[in-house]
Amino acid sequence: MHTRHVVSARDLGLGFCRELFKRADEYRTRLDRDPTSCITDLSGRVALLWFRQPSTRTLVSFEMAAVRLGMSVVQVIDPQFSSEYKGESEDHSMRTVAGYRPDALIIRHNQEGGVARAAASAARAFGGPVPVINAGDGKGEHPTQALIDVYTLLQLWNNGTQQDLSGAHIAIGGDLQGRVPRSLAFLLADYGPEITFISAPELRVGEDVKEYLRTRDISFTEETEIDGTLQRAHFWYWTRTQNDQRTDKEKARLAHVDPRSMQLRLSHVRGMRKGAKILHPMPINRKPGDVSEIEPAIDDIDTAAYWQQSANGLYVRMAVLQTLCSP
């Protein structure tokens, strides 16, 4: 049987996403009614979480998703404590742990391409391949975040009555070189919205993403200021500056970029079109002394859809596990 992985948002496809979102809807309804009602044929199955970078939402929602489905979870959240410390190669580590037959191997990696490499190692495990899920690989991709994002956009667009996002205008802004906007743009290509990318010139979305959108006939523009799009966008998908993914040299090259130029403020919200919503994959930077990319006063107004979006992480990741791990 073909082992399905979730490594790039480019590989998911509309049919897969539709089925998955239907399942996520079911889990949402069932959890509201009776949280124990989702324990089905996955009880006795095991998810292995192998995380090389910090995480709150991805780690906890995957773990909650697995447990709600009746699965067990094994976590390695700091591979420094694995035999890699003694000099073992990553290839051997992945082949070994995949050989213990987890029903899903969920990997967060610090390098772009790291999860695809791990999947190739896991495919050579004794006993055969296991499904691998990319929980974020460096500046590469974060496909399950993109699934959550599109699921949330579909809930919000025309009261959830549409199966696509045609007619919707999405402003994607902030630091567009991270894995989240990349995967989101790839997945949105299946849903037909109009996109405006807004960022400082140094933080523009990658050429490969733009090329992909062009080949899929998705209409997009690039801006360096927020104001010109305020009256047009239905959705504001905002991101933090990903300095934790950069070398000191890269950070120094960006030191002159003024974070205020990409801060979404209440004054912007007042200028947005009626009913506009703000999404964010979170975390939002609230380090004392830093300029947050979203003014804190926005957190508790209706425009902030990022709480709904992060809560959706549970249902969508339950659906991902169910799809990949069902017998």
Smallest distance, ligand MLT to C-beta of residue 26, A: 25
Measured distance CA(327)–CA(11) in Å, rounded: 22
Helix or strand run (H / E) with residue 134: strand 132-137
Q: What are the residues facing 48 on neighbouring strands?
A: 74, 105
Smallest distance, ligand MLT to C-beta of residue 215, A: 25
Q: Which residues of 265-287 are buried (b: 16+ CB within 10 A; e: fewer)?
A: eeebbeebeeebbbbbbbebeee
Measured distance CA(240)–CA(294) in Å, rounded: 9
With respect to ligand MLT, which residue has the nearer C-beta, 142 or 317?
142
Task: Count other Cβ atoms within 10 Å, centred on residue 100.
Answer: 14
**Residue 314, by phi and psi: left (phi above 0), alpha (psi -120 to 50) or beta?**
alpha
Binding site for ligand MLT (CB under 6 A): 136, 142, 145, 179-180, 240, 242, 281, 283
Smallest distance, ligand MLT to C-beta of residue 278, A: 15
Smallest distance, ligand MLT to C-beta of residue 81, A: 21
With respect to ligand MLT, which residue has the nearer C-beta, 224 or 285?
285
Measured distance CA(304)–CA(307) in Å, rounded: 7
With respect to ligand MLT, which residue has the nearer C-beta, 160 or 283?
283
Smallest distance, ligand MLT to C-beta of residue 59, A: 10
Task: Count other Cβ atoms within 10 Å, centred on residue 249.
Answer: 7
With respect to ligand MLT, which residue has the nearer C-beta, 104 or 180?
180
With respect to ligand MLT, which residue has the nearer C-beta, 8 or 103?
8
Smallest distance, ligand MLT to C-beta of residue 8, A: 15
Helix or strand run (H / E) with residue 326: none
With respect to ligand MLT, which residue has the nearer C-beta, 42 or 209?
209
